[in-house]
Amino acid sequence: MKIVLTGGGTAGHFYPLIAIAEALIRIATKEKLLPPELFYMSEAPYDKKALFDNNITFKRAFSGKMRRYFSFWYVTDAIKLVVGILQALWHVYKLYPDVVISKGGYASVPVVFAARVFRIPVFVHESDSIPGKSNLWAARFASRIAVSWDEAASSFPKEKTAVTGQPIRSALLYPITEGAFEYLKLEEKVPVVLVLGGSLGARMINDSITDALPDLLPECQVIHQTGVANVKEVRDVARVAAAGDGTSPYAGRYKPFGFLNELALRMSYGVSTLVISRAGSTIFEIAAQGLPSIIVPITSSNGDHQRKNAFNYARTGAAVVIEEKNLTPHILVSEIKRLLGDQAVRNKMRDAALRFSRKDSAETIAREVMSIALSHER
């Protein structure tokens, strides 16, 4: 059984594919089937360790961005797309997989096109409440479509669409508390706020957090994933804000990280009282932990999908939303203090998050993918 995974080169596309791969391997082992041969086809491997750990082979296929604005890069994008389609046609022809799983994004287009040419079944998963153009196109000939949000289902053919939730890597379903305070160098009796900025669209959150540190740190500890490209700048700004220059008794309560690896992220989830995040796929990880959250959607996201994700999630009662236009240090500090000071509200948000979460999503999708693949084999 050969299965190709494809999607745009962001964490929101890549890690759900890894979650599905993990589930495929678990099911094959449990049911004493031959392990599936797994391939990831995109512009770049994104996380080589995750591919290696799951025995996934990387195959490169370029793609040009589908820009919504005028750009002189159109010509370059068109050339890359043509090259990517030729690469994908070659790889798919040589591999002849039993199914292609697409997470969408411009990087998936050449691979899905090649699957269509060779009549390989395509399984589509959509993470956003407003589907992207790549998945809307792929859905026309997909065998099955899974969506994370109820609101997205109406955009796809009813007869082949199911609401499955978001696939989450198995390890992240189990936060770690034992040894976490020591590992992260945290004080045990002080609330912890986890800030998940990330490498894309993080500057506004980063700036607001660093500006708010003098008011926040007397009340709580902050674990801040800034994005690798931003961590030095954030540390420097935090020092100027008297959070880390050694002159404040609370200086050690601020913990900036460029990137939280799997172990550090599980520990951060395990000790956190509250999470601040963008409105992408991370919402589903937060929900699986049962953590109250403040969601700050990116205003300029394609189709305004982050804003719609954020408010759809907030309607469940699991989160509050602060829009970018309202994201000032004063408002952020006020909202954090309000939530940290009200255990009853946090308990209600926790229960709502757990009700929203679907921890069996990866397993559900993997079983359907295996059914399609086995039928194709025959």
Give the model's confidence band at 69: pLDDT under 50 very low, under 70 low, under 90 confident, else very high.
Answer: low
Q: Say how far apart CA 74 and CA 76 lie, in whole Å.
A: 6
Same domain? For 198 and 337 the reply is yes
Give the model's confidence band at 301: pLDDT under 50 very low, under 70 low, under 90 confident, else very high.
Answer: low
pLDDT in tens, 38-62: 999 999 999 999 999 999 999 999 9
Same domain? For 253 and 289 the reply is yes
Same domain? For 81 and 69 the reply is yes
CA proximity to 30, closest of 22, 19, 38:
22
Range of the domain at 339: 172-356
Return the half-sphere exposure (C-beta side, CA atoms, 13 A cut-off) of residue 22: 18
Same domain? For 120 and 232 the reply is no
Same domain? For 242 and 137 the reply is no
The percentage of residues in the chain with a pLDDT greater than 70, rounded to a whole number, is 93
pLDDT in tens, 207-224: 999 999 999 999 999 999
Same domain? For 192 and 296 the reply is yes
Q: How many domains does the chain have?
A: 2
pLDDT in tens, 171-190: 999 999 999 999 999 999 99
Q: Say how far apart CA 370 and CA 372 lie, in whole Å.
A: 5
Same domain? For 163 and 38 the reply is yes
Same domain? For 129 and 268 the reply is no
- Which CATH number does the domain housing residue 297 bear? 3.40.50.2000
Q: In what order do the strands lie in the sheet with 319-321?
A: 254-257, 221-225, 192-196, 274-277, 293-295, 319-321
Same domain? For 244 and 132 the reply is no
CA proximity to 36, closest of 20, 47, 48:
20
Give the model's confidence band at 230: pLDDT under 50 very low, under 70 low, under 90 confident, else very high.
Answer: confident
Q: Give the model's pLDDT for residue 163.
A: 97
Same domain? For 342 and 221 the reply is yes
Q: Say how far apart CA 244 and CA 226 lie, in whole Å.
A: 15
Q: DSSP string spanning 72-119? A: TTHHHHHHHHHHHHHHHHHHHHHH--SEEEE--SGGGHHHHHHHHHTT
Same domain? For 57 and 147 the reply is yes
Per this entry, what is the length of the chain? Answer: 378
The percentage of residues in the chain with a pLDDT greater than 90, rounded to a whole number, is 80
Q: What integer is the mean pLDDT of 324-336?
A: 96
Same domain? For 154 and 72 the reply is yes
Q: Which string of b and e fits 150-181 if b means at least 16 CB within 10 Å?
A: ebbbebbeeeebeebbbbbbeebbebbeeebb
pTM of the model: 0.92
Give the model's confidence band at 77: pLDDT under 50 very low, under 70 low, under 90 confident, else very high.
Answer: confident
**166 neighbors 16 (Cβ within 8 angstroms):** yes
